[in-house]
Every structure is written in structure tokens, then in C-alpha cells.
């Protein structure tokens, strides 16, 4: 399987200028090729092929005075920009035909130098390499310092240099990795994702929602107010924009780290995992939109899915229309929908008192075909009726049944415990003896 590894880059001043030049040249080639294809479509001509575009917007353009500076960057970077345009058109046409998995994809648009993200890609033809000192040697840029947080599992063939909105640089590698099968374990788990608790497991474990965005709102509001006061187009506004972007990046990094730690723990401790396919896009249109985005359910589920494939675990998604919160996990009877404020409910059939979230997690696991116990969902055990031999009149003359007392009023009201008698219940309250029908005697 293929995995992406990202590492932080720390280019110096000249290297940042060279990278900015590479970003700009790749953007211009992409826009020129996109304009050529749009003009051909408007004039009724067939789309020019990649070879024709390469000759027109790269080879011939370098000979002109207006595009002579394209020769200052690696030719591989410009060719990969054309490959990106081909991929964008292929995804767009596949989306129109309905053969593309996922949401609909719009037609490729022109890139702007004010975009939040810029990237260039180097293939093996560019002869990039990792130096013995641990730097990343890029053509026309130099040896860039890298923060290696872990070793790559195999030798990558390409590297993509990315600059995000916060002004941080990253080197992204896509490498082939072999599956690492973990030792088999017995537990299986169903997961119910929510907002009050980020995740509730079918074994009764509840994981609190960190709410990274909510906790950082005070700082974000302060930086955004400062940004709103800066004049548009000024250098101070650009500096304030970077501060806002860095504040958001810290929140995103903390959320991603939380997702990685939790997903790895669940994968290691369970042999099979089941989750519900939530309609995140629909929930993001409600008044809970900020909390839904802050939770990051989609990213968390995606992490668990690829880690399950990597470590040899079973991963299941159940349909979003499965009534996991309406079905009793003890007896399987559907008890109907319930408002969100009801967190504990009693089954109308078996009278089991259930925790709403744990019950839903157990039903998620059962819908995926996993064998889990329903005992974890019970808030308190059900009442077990007395056996036939324990209640009623006994032929041997015994008039009481040991262990089934009836509570009477306290000692201050002349009360004490009475027991079941052969003909009913006798209760002494305030000096009056009442039988089961409430008659004074």
C-alpha cells in the first residue's frame, strides 16, 4: 500500500526565494495550459494533448522575452504542473460521467499567487537526493534542512515541496509500504462518534471531546480582530494574516495528533472495529457546524481505515440510516426515536435501563456482524422476578419469605420492616395496621 510521509523543511533566505520562483513558474505554466484548453473548447476544437501543450507553454515560451524566466527553474517542475492539469481534467470528466468516487469535482480553475497553498513536485528525473548530512538536495534550490521525525520505510521516487497558509514548508513523500500484521487479539469494538463525547466504545469506554477549536477561540478572535483593523494590501495586513493562519495551524496540528494517538490505540487493542458512516456534510449545515468541524470525524475514521489495512485488522462501516440509537441492545426491539437531551432511556419491552451512547456503539458493532456483549450499555441491572418457589404461602407452615422485606416507615413513625405473609402484606404505619388492600384492621 502507498502512504504519505510529511517532514518539516527549514529553507534559508535564498532557498525561500528559489522556492517562490518555482511556485510562480509552475503556476504560470498551469494557467497558460488551462487557457489554451479553454480557448480550444470555446472554438470547438479538440483539447490539445499534453505533448502539444508542453511544446507551446514551456519550450516555445522560454524563447520569448515575456516567459524567458521559466528557464530559471527545473524543467521537471514545469512538466509536473502539466501532469497536475491532466489529473484535474480527468477527475472532472469522471465526476461528470459518475465514475468518480466521492463528491462532485468542479472544472479546473486558474491558480492565483494569493492562494493559501503552493506546491511543486520533483521526480527521479530531477535528480534530487538526500545528502549524508540529512539535508534534502533539490535542483536549482540547494540543500534544504529537514526535520526527520522518523525513517522512511522505502526509497521514494518523488518529493513534493509544499508551502501552506502559515508560511511553513513541508516535504511530502509517497512511498510503498508492506503490511505490518499485529498479533491477533480477542476484543472487537463498535464506536459511536459524537459531540458530548468524541467517541464511545461498545465496552463502555467514553473518550471526552478535546474541543481544540473552542479552547483556542479567545486567541483566534484576538488575532482576527487585529487582522480586520489592518489596511487591505498593506504589509501589516499580510503579517496579521500569517498570525491567524498559524493560530489555526496549531489547532489543526493538535487535533491531528489526538486523532493519530487514539486511532493507533484502538487499532492495536482490537481485532475488528466498526463505525457508522456519518453524514458530516449534512451535519455541517446545522447550528452544530462549528462543533462538527472541530471534532474532525472524517479524518479520524480515515486514519483508522488505513491503519486497519496496514496492521491486518478488520474495519467495517455501517450505513448511516441504521437506527442505532432506537434499538435496545439487550432485546433488539426498536423503541422509536428520542430527543438528543435524553441520554439514558428504559426499554419498553425488557425494562432495561440503557446508556444512549454505549447502546448505540453496541448496535454499531452488531450491525457489522461483531459479537459484543450488551451488558456494558446497562446503567443498572434489570429487576429479576422472584421464582415461584420463593413467594406465596408455604405448606410447611412458614409464614414469611426470607430476603424479600417490605420497607415501612422509619423508627420515628413507629415503623419497621414487615415481610410477605401468606395472605398479603401487613404494614404498620402510625399505629395502624393495613393489609395489601389498604383496609384498617
Catalytic residues: 192, 276, 357
DSSP symbols for 166-210:
TS-EEEEEEEE----PPPP-S-EEEEEE-SSEEEEETTS-EEE--
SS3 content of the chain, % helix, strand, coil (to 5): 40, 20, 40
CB burial of residue 286 (10 Å; 0-12, 13-18, 19+): exposed
Side-chain-side CA neighbours of 293 within 13 Å: the count stands at 12
Query: What is the side-by-side strand order in the sheet with 118-122?
Result: 118-122, 159-163, 169-176, 2-10, 142-147, 136-138, 129-130
Helix (H, G, I), strand (E, B) or coil at 160: strand
Angle among Cα 226, 231, 234 to the nearest 5 degrees reads 105
> Under a CB-based contact definition with an 8 Å cutoff, are residues 397 and 416 in contact?
no
Pick the closest to residue 185 from 262, 263, 266, 270 (CA basis): 270
> Under a CB-based contact definition with an 8 Å cutoff, are residues 6 and 163 in contact?
no
- Beta strands 188-193 and 272-276, pairing class: parallel
Residues 66-83 as b/e (b if ≥16 CB within 10 A, e otherwise) read ebeebeebbbbbbbbbbe
Grid cell digits, residue 380? 443498572
Query: What is the side-by-side strand order in the sheet with 197-201?
Result: 206-208, 197-201, 188-193, 272-276, 314-318
Grid cell digits, residue 372? 459484543
> Under a CB-based contact definition with an 8 Å cutoff, are residues 84 and 5 in contact?
no
Task: Kindly state the greatest CA–CA separation across the chain.
Answer: 117
Grid cell digits, residue 431? 399505629
Cα 88 to Cα 167: distance, rounded to the nearest angstrom: 25
Cα 374 to Cα 186: distance, rounded to the nearest angstrom: 17
Amino acid at each position: 500500500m502507498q502512504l504519505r510521509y510529511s517532514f518539516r523543511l527549514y529553507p534559508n533566505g535564498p532557498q525561500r526565494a528559489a522556492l517562490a520562483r518555482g511556485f510562480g513558474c509552475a503556476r504560470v505554466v498551469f494557467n497558460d495550459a488551462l487557457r489554451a484548453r479553454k480557448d480550444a473548447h470555446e472554438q470547438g476544437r479538440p483539447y490539445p494533448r499534453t505533448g502539444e501543450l508542453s511544446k507551446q507553454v514551456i519550450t516555445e515560451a522560454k524563447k520569448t522575452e515575456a516567459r524567458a524566466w521559466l528557464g530559471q527553474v527545473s524543467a521537471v517542475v514545469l512538466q509536473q504542473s502539466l501532469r497536475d492539469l491532466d489529473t484535474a481534467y480527468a477527475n472532472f470528466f469522471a465526476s461528470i460521467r459518475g465514475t468518480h468516487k466521492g463528491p462532485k469535482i468542479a472544472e479546473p480553475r486558474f491558480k492565483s499567487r494569493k492562494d493559501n497553498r503552493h506546491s511543486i513536485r520533483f521526480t527521479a528525473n530531477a535528480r534530487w537526493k538526500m545528502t549524508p548530512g540529512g539535508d534534502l538536495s533539490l535542483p536549482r534550490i540547494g540543500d534544504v534542512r529537514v526535520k526527520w521525525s522518523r525513517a522512511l520505510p522505502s526509497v521514494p521516487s518523488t518529493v513534493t515541496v509544499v508551502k501552506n497558509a502559515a508560511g511553513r514548508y513541508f516535504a511530502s513523500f509517497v512511498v510503498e509500504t508492506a503490511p505490518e500484521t499485529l498479533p491477533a487479539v480477542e476484543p472487537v469494538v463498535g464506536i459511536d462518534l459524537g459531540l458530548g463525547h468524541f467517541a464511545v466504545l461498545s465496552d463502555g469506554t467514553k473518550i471526552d471531546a478535546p474541543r481544540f477549536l473552542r479552547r483556542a477561540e479567545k486567541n483566534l478572535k484576538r488575532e482576527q480582530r487585529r487582522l480586520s483593523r489592518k489596511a487591505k494590501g498593506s504589509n501589516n495586513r499580510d503579517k496579521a494574516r500569517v498570525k491567524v493562519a498559524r493560530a489555526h495551524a496549531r489547532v489543526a496540528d493538535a487535533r491531528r495528533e489526538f486523532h493519530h494517538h487514539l486511532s493507533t490505540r484502538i487499532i492495536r487493542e482490537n481485532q475488528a472495529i466498526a463505525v457508522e458512516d456519518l453524514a458530516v456534510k449534512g451535519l455541517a449545515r446545522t447550528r452544530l457546524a462549528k462543533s462538527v468541524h472541530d471534532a474532525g470525524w472524517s479524518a479520524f475514521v480515515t486514519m483508522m481505515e488505513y491503519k486497519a489495512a496496514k496492521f491486518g485488522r478488520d474495519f467495517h462501516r455501517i450505513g448511516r440510516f441504521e437506527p442505532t440509537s432506537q434499538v435496545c441492545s439487550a432485546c433488539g426491539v426498536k423503541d422509536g426515536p428520542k430527543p438528543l437531551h435524553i441520554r439514558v432511556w428504559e426499554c419498553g419491552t425488557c425494562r432495561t435501563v440503557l446508556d444512549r451512547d454505549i447502546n448505540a456503539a453496541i448496535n454499531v458493532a452488531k450491525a457489522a456482524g461483531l459479537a459484543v456483549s450488551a451488558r456494558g450499555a446497562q446503567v443498572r441491572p434489570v429487576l429479576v422476578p422472584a421464582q415461584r418457589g420463593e413467594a406465596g404461602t408455604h405448606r410447611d407452615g412458614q409464614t414469611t419469605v426470607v430476603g424479600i422485606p417490605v420497607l415501612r416507615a422509619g423508627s420515628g413513625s413507629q415503623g419497621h420492616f414487615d415481610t410477605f405473609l401468606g395472605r398479603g402484606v401487613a404494614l404498620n404505619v402510625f399505629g395502624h395496621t393495613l393489609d395489601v388492600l389498604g383496609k384498617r384492621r
